């Protein structure tokens, strides 16, 4: 294991706690994974408090269009779903974790239905199934056409309310409370009031479950909502947890292109549109994916995004185009009402013309190193959903595997904590700390976008490390506010991303190095980072446990 001094903020400068109270489990985050964890824990009789920095249900889940991958079709088999996931994961999946996912995803979909989810059905009353990139069978369950995530959020939100689970909305999870021997024993939280942090206090708990989602906002343009700033990952790192695969950021090949200055959350054009037959073309109408991969427009997402990015780099054009016109207006507006509306609002008619699309940051394959029961390397701290790196996604997530992973991990984590809670601990008062100046946020996102996008190289990643190392800190007498918490998280994530990207001298999955375009068998390892108490970042490699896909990566 190598260690080096890092510019990462090792501890936040915390507001003092004005109160302290007890619960069994604190769940941080209000997307599919967090809500399902809370619902299942409440059903098991545990006292649970949900903390979310926005309003309940505002996370990435609500924006998911495509759906949930699960083996439900008569021609499908868990072995096929397993194989598709491993192939997409490009040699970095944990095969045991993927096997658990493919075996348990159908039951997770069943539980959603039992809780009242209204899925789109086929003429026999069974969930209608469609296909997305990298899948060898139709296995994507959807709802409201292209409003799958919204239905998941609605269903779990109602279940949460029906159980009377305590929810602290607009509340920031600042730092894990730790015992003298490093176990997590709760959270320092504060209410967000117009950007200020007020009424700070300690939620003491036997377990803290992070379900805070990803970090797409570290890029200038992303499909992720505003809150996806990597707060949970940064908090876990500061609490001593190991994080892995952070360089593996999945770019969705098709968000709607709205101009060179596009900033923040962009409208997604679901891969399911290609699943139904749309194709990617250039300005002259030439197919982009024909000949680039045997699955052409339905190749795994890393391949499609990298092919588009290379084409745009070579031609100097601003965008690719998605041509769905041959599918017909009735079909498109019925099957994809939200996407058709978003195109219309941007001035394009999906039913009559190819619409301009570009790749944008979409999903964090890496995160807090955890197993599918949510266990991290720190006692008392658990992670489920996108914030976790369980090895299910490997170097590139298979489309629509994320919500099923979040639901499966949530149910397993809740079952674990329902069986036995970690022992109670007495936290020591956190001291010292700092924060990144929110004014540096624009520099962080611009440099990450420029140097660590779909295509990267050592020179650019090295430059990014330098830019990040000189990011300004807030003045020591300034109280911490919500913007500084997010800027600090984004800076932490970008630093990890650049460090890991530089350390991996190959191309694999979502990590495409133009100066090292081939995959190297000896790099079929996970890069695991951890921060010690003195702010030193250490890295170790972890071999992957994957047997079936030997030779396919
Ligand atoms: C999409 O609908 O294309 C996104 C689905 C996913 O990210 O899994």
Tell me 473's DSSP state. Answer: B
Q: Among 89, 228, 300, 400, which residue has the most ligand 1 atoms within 8 Å of its CB, making it the best to mutate?
A: 400
Nearest 10 degrees: CA dihedral of 60, 63, 69, 75? 180
Query: How many CA atoms lie less than 13 Å away from 188 in the CB half-sphere?
Result: 25
Beta strand extents in 257-389 (DSSP E only): 264-265, 279-281, 320-323, 355-364, 367-369, 381-383, 388-389
Q: Is the CB of 400 within 6 Å of ligand 1?
A: yes
Max distance between CA atoms of the chain, in angstroms, equals 66
Confidence label for 481 from pLDDT (cuts 50, 70 and 90): very high
Cβ of 146 below 6 Å from ligand 1: no
pLDDT at residue 130 above 80? yes
**Which residue among the candidates 301, 473, 512, 513 is catalytic per the annotation?**
301
Task: Locate the DSSP E strands across 440-505.
Answer: 455-456
Confidence of residue 490 (pLDDT cuts 50, 70, 90): very high
- How large is the average pLDDT for residues 53-57? 92
pLDDT digits (tens, 9 = 90+) for 345-355: 999 999 999 99
Average pLDDT on 93-120 reads 97
Confidence band for 39, pLDDT divided at 50, 70 and 90: very high
Rounded average pLDDT over 64-86:
96
Indicate whether residue 497 lines ligand 1 (CB < 6 A).
Answer: no
What are the tens digits of pLDDT across the range 175-204?
Answer: 999 999 999 999 999 999 999 999 999 999
Strand ranges across the sheet with 525-531: 2-5, 536-543, 525-531, 243-244, 367-369, 388-389
304 lines ligand 1 (CB under 6 A): no
What was the pLDDT predicted at 349? 97
Number of other CB atoms surrounding residue 90 within 10 Å? 25
pLDDT of residue 1 exceeding 90, the answer is: no
Q: How confident is the model at residue 3 (pLDDT cuts 50, 70, 90)?
A: low
pTM: 0.95
Tens-digit pLDDT profile for residues 21-31: 999 999 999 99
Would the pLDDT of 239 be above 50?
Answer: yes
Q: What single string gives the DSSP state of each residue in 118-142?
A: ---B-TTSSBPEE--TT-SS--EE-
Confidence of residue 545 (pLDDT cuts 50, 70, 90): confident
Report the percentage of the chain scoring pLDDT > 70: 98
Torsion sign (Cα): 51, 55, 57, 62: negative
Mean pLDDT (whole number) for 343-365: 96
Q: Identify the CA nearest to 92 among candidates 425, 365, 329, 380.
A: 365
String of DSSP letters for 280-307: EE-TTS-BSSTTTSTTGGGS-HHHHHHH
Our answer to whether residue 126 is catalytic in this structure is: no
Which DSSP state fits 249?
Answer: E
Q: What is the CATH number of domain 252-359?
A: 3.90.700.10
pLDDT at residue 360 above 90?
A: yes
Total residues found in the chain within this entry: 553
Which atom of ligand 1 has the smallest separation from the CA of 65?
Answer: 2
3-state per-residue secondary structure call for 145-156 = CCCHHHHHHHHH
| pLDDT-derived band at 550, boundaries 50, 70, 90 | very low
Is any atom of ligand 1 closer than 6 Å to the C-beta of 272?
yes
pLDDT on residue 549 = 46
Q: What is the pLDDT of residue 165?
A: 98
Arithmetic mean of pLDDT over the chain: 95
């Amino acid at each position: 294991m190598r260690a080096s001094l890092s510019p990462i903020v090792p501890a936040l400068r915390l507001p003092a706690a004005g109160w302290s109270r007890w619960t069994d489990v604190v769940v941080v985050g209000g997307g599919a994974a967090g809500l399902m964890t809370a619902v299942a824990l409440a059903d098991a009789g545990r006292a649970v408090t949900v903390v979310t920095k926005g309003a309940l249900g505002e996370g990435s889940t609500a924006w998911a269009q495509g759906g949930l991958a699960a083996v439900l079709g008569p021609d499908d088999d868990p072995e096929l779903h397993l194989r598709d996931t491993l192939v997409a994961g490009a040699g970095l999946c944990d095969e045991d974790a993927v096997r658990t996912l493919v075996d348990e995803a159908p039951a997770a979909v069943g539980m959603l239905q039992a809780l009242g989810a209204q899925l789109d059905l086929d003429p026999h009353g069974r969930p209608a199934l469609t296909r997305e990139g990298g899948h060898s069978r139709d296995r994507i369950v959807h709802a409201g056409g292209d409003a799958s995530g919204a239905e998941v959020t609605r269903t779990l939100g109602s279940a949460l309310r029906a159980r009377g689970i305590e929810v602290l909305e607009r509340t920031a999870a600042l730092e894990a409370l730790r015992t003298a021997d490093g176990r997590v024993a709760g959270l320092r939280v504060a209410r967000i009031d117009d950007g200020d942090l007020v009424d700070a206090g300690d939620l003491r708990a036997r377990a803290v479950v992070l379900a805070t989602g990803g970090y797409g906002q570290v890029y200038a343009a992303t499909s992720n909502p505003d809150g996806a700033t990597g707060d949970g990952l940064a908090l876990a790192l500061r609490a001593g947890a190991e994080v892995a695969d952070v360089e593996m950021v999945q770019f969705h090949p098709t968000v709607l292109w709205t101009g060179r200055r596009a900033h923040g959350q962009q409208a997604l054009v679901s891969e399911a549109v290609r699943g139904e037959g749309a194709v990617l073309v250039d300005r002259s109408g030439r197919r982009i994916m024909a000949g680039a991969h045997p699955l052409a427009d339905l190749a795994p997402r890393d391949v499609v995004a990298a092919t588009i990015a290379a084409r745009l780099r070579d031609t100097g054009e601003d965008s690719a185009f998605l041509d769905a016109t041959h599918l017909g207006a009735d079909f498109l507006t019925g099957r994809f009402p939200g996407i058709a509306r978003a195109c219309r609002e941007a001035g394009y008619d999906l039913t009559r013309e190819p619409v301009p699309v570009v790749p944008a940051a979409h999903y964090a394959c890496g995160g807090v190193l955890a197993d599918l029961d949510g266990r991290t390397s720190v006692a008392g701290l658990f992670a489920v959903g996108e914030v976790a790196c369980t090895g299910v996604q490997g170097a590139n997530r298979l489309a629509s595997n994320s919500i099923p992973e979040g639901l499966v991990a949530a149910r397993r984590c809740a079952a674990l904590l329902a069986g036995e809670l970690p022992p109670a601990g007495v936290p020591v008062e956190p001291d010292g700390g700092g924060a990144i100046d929110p004014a540096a946020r624009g520099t962080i996102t611009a440099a990450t976008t420029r140097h660590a996008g779909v295509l990267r190289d050592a020179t650019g990643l090295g430059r990014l490390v330098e830019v990040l190392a000189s990011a300004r800190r807030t003045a020591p007498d300034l109280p911490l506010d919500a913007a500084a918490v997010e800027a600090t998280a984004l800076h932490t994530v970008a630093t990890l991303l650049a460090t890991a990207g530089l350390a991996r001298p190959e191309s694999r999955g979502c990590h495409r190095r133009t100066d090292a375009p081939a995959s190297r068998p000896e790099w079929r390892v996970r890069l695991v980072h951890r921060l010690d108490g003195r702010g030193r970042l250490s890295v170790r490699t972890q071999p992957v446990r994957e047997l079936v896909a030997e030779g396919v990566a």
